[in-house]
């Protein structure tokens, strides 16, 4: 898509969406446009039913100022958060408020055909519950457990499971879905939600997703850093010594000794029947000594591995999320203790190591946010609404 003029309606929409400027006076102050230009662009957005007049803001005396907001009920967004063994889906409005959701123990290893067939069936059921149709869907956001070319929505190759190599997500949805698609790595999707909704006061964040695998994402100066091919944050396959086999085919990776996959392998060897990260969490909640010991050891490994990450990036916050994080202590305390005891004093000063502020909805909220970003892309909106 060709770059549009800097006075396109999409530029104004970005400020309205973010809340940085929602009145005419604030928009003019931020944009430096004339009143005539701003009025024209706001009219375009209003006519296209992208924004509405949301109320009267206090103008400090005199005539109250109009404020503008996204027309949240002008359509809906689908979001899908795919994990190693668990997938959650949701339908949200156009400002990413969850309207209805569902989940199941299905994930990476079942392959894309199974996951997206299930997701499509569930979405159709949820649409009926809301009295909506596929035609109401404006955007679809998907988080997948592997690197993604976000420009095309195609998964990179190789993936951990070859079933996902070169997958184009939109090909797995029925043709009736004419929505905008947005796809990213699951932990990047989580990081989008954490940085905007969970920790908006922090510009530099490291986000971990702990489940059967270990995902890592970096938010640098307020933006998710993805690397050259979408693979930044390959933290789980950093070498931690030993001969334990990893899902990547090598041995000694962090994931091989400190992930839900490693814990479940050890527990199953002791006679337990563990299939998902949720099974591990359930045992932790009833105080299983075996599980507590393994979680503590895993946390120490993860915290030690984070020392170099924190030293290199100097984040303000390390956020620990994912299903396995719901086990709480001793996993969380072990990560925190190992990291803070190993990091240099400078990097550790003021460093916050904390669980997600959003909880288990972080993935579907993040997926909705990236769908929202794609739908309201400034260039796209400026082209769509341009009249003069």
First CA to last CA distance, the chain: 18
Tokens standing for 299? 């946390």
**What average pLDDT score do residues 356-364 get?**
95
pLDDT at 387: 61
In the predicted model, is pLDDT for residue 4 greater than 60?
Answer: no
Tokens standing for 121? 């069936």
Task: Find all residues with CB under 8 Å of 63, minimum gap 6, and list them.
Answer: none
pLDDT at 61: 56
**What average pLDDT score do residues 176-189 get?**
93
pLDDT at 62: 55
**200-356 shares the fold of 76-190+363-375:** yes
- Under 8 Å between Cβ of 302 and 258: yes
Report the distance separating Cα 363 and Cα 359, nearest Å. 9
**What average pLDDT score do residues 173-186 get?**
91
Residue 388: band (very low, low, confident or very high) from pLDDT cuts 50, 70, 90: very low
CATH dotted code for 200-356: 3.30.420.40
**What average pLDDT score do residues 62-70 get?**
80
Percent of the chain with pLDDT over 90: 80
pLDDT at 236: 87
The order of strands in the sheet holding 223-225 is 223-225, 214-220, 205-210, 317-321, 352-355
In the predicted model, is pLDDT for residue 304 greater than 70?
Answer: yes
In the predicted model, is pLDDT for residue 58 greater than 70?
Answer: no
Tokens standing for 210? 């702990």
From residue 285, alpha-carbon distances to 77, 161, 282 in Å are 34, 31, 5
**What average pLDDT score do residues 268-289 get?**
94
DSSP E strand stretches across the chain: 51-57, 65-70, 76-82, 87-92, 98-104, 137-144, 148-149, 154-155, 180-185, 205-210, 214-220, 223-225, 317-321, 352-355
**What average pLDDT score do residues 366-377 get?**
97
pLDDT at 250: 84
Q: What are phi and psi of 133, to 5 degrees?
A: -130, 170
**What average pLDDT score do residues 190-199 get?**
97
Q: At what angle do helices 24-31 and 9-18 cross, to 10 degrees?
A: 120
Q: pLDDT tens across 124-141, in order?
A: 999 999 999 999 999 999
In the predicted model, is pLDDT for residue 280 greater than 50?
Answer: yes
Task: Give, as one character, the DSSP assignment of residue 358.
Answer: S
- Under 8 Å between Cβ of 387 and 44: yes
In the predicted model, is pLDDT for residue 177 greater than 90?
Answer: no
Mean pLDDT, the chain, integer: 92
User: Structural domain boundaries of the chain?
Assistant: 9-71, 76-190+363-375, 200-356
Report the distance separating Cα 350 and Cα 118, nearest Å. 44
How many helices and strands, by DSSP H and E, does the chain display? 13, 14
Residue identified by tokens 């944009």 is 31
> Does the bond joining 158 to the residue before it have cis omega, within 30 degrees of 0?
yes
- Look at domain 9-71 and name its CATH class: mainly alpha
Residue 1: band (very low, low, confident or very high) from pLDDT cuts 50, 70, 90: very low
pLDDT at 378: 95
Q: pLDDT tens across 204-243, in order?
A: 999 999 998 899 999 999 999 999 888 899 898 887 777 8
Residue 175: band (very low, low, confident or very high) from pLDDT cuts 50, 70, 90: confident
Q: Which residues pair with 215 in a beta bridge?
A: 209
From residue 2, alpha-carbon distances to 10, 171, 382 in Å are 14, 25, 11
**DSSP run (H or E) holding 4:** none
Q: Give the pTM.
A: 0.92
DSSP calls for 152-206: TTEEPSS-SSGGGTT-BGGGGS-TT---EEEEEEHHHHHHHHIIIII-TT-S-EE
pLDDT at 167: 94
Q: At what angle do helices 9-18 and 378-385 cross, to 10 degrees?
A: 130
DSSP calls for 98-132: EEEEEEES--GGG-HHHHHHHHHHHHHHHHHHHT-
Task: Give, as one character, the DSSP assignment of residue 253.
Answer: B
Of 63-77, 81-95, 128-142, the range with the lowest mean pLDDT is 63-77
**What average pLDDT score do residues 163-180 get?**
91
In the predicted model, is pLDDT for residue 321 greater than 50?
Answer: yes
CATH dotted code for 76-190+363-375: 3.30.420.40
Report the distance separating Cα 183 and Cα 189, nearest Å. 9
């Amino acid at each position: 898509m060709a770059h549009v003029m800097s006075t396109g309606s999409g530029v104004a929409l970005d400020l309205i969406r973010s809340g940085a400027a929602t009145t005419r006076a604030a928009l003019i102050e931020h944009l430096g446009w004339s009143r005539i230009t701003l009025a024209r662009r706001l009219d375009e957005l209003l006519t296209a039913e992208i924004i509405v007049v949301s109320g009267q803001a206090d103008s400090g005396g005199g005539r109250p100022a109009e404020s503008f907001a996204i027309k949240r009920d002008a359509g809906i967004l689908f979001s899908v958060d795919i994990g190693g063994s668990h997938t959650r889906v949701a339908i949200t409005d156009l400002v990413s408020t969850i309207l209805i959701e569902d989940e199941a123990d299905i994930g990476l290893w079942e392959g894309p055909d199974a996951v997206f067939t299930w997701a499509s069936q569930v979405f159709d059921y949820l649409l009926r519950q809301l009295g909506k149709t596929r035609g109401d869907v404006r955007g679809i956001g998907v988080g997948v457990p592997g690197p993604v070319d976000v420009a095309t929505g195609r998964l990179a190759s190789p993936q951990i499971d070859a079933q996902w190599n070169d997958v184009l997500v939109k090909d797995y949805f029925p043709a009736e879905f004419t929505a905008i698609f947005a796809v990213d790595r699951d932990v990047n999707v989580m990081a989008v939600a954490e940085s905007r909704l969970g920790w908006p006061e922090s510009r530099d964040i490291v986000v971990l997703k702990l489940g059967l695998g270990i995902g890592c994402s970096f938010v640098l100066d307020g933006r998710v850093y993805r690397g050259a091919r979408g693979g930044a944050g390959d933290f789980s396959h950093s070498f931690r010594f030993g001969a334990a086999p990893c899902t990547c085919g090598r041995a000694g990776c962090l994931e091989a000794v400190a992930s839900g996959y490693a814990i479940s392998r050890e527990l199953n060897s002791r006679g337990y029947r563990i299939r998902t990260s949720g099974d591990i969490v359930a045992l932790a909640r009833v105080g299983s000594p075996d599980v507590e010991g393994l979680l503590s050891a895993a946390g120490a490994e993860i915290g030690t591995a984070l020392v170099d990450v924190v030293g290199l990036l100097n984040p303000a916050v390390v956020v620990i999320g994912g299903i396995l994080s719901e086990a709480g202590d001793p996993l969380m305390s072990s990560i925190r203790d190992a990291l803070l005891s190993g990091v240099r004093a400078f990097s550790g000063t003021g460093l916050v190591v904390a669980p997600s502020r959003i909880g288990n909805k972080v993935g579907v909220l993040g997926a909705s946010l990236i769908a929202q970003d794609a739908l309201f892309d400034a260039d796209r909106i400026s082209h769509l609404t341009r009249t003069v």
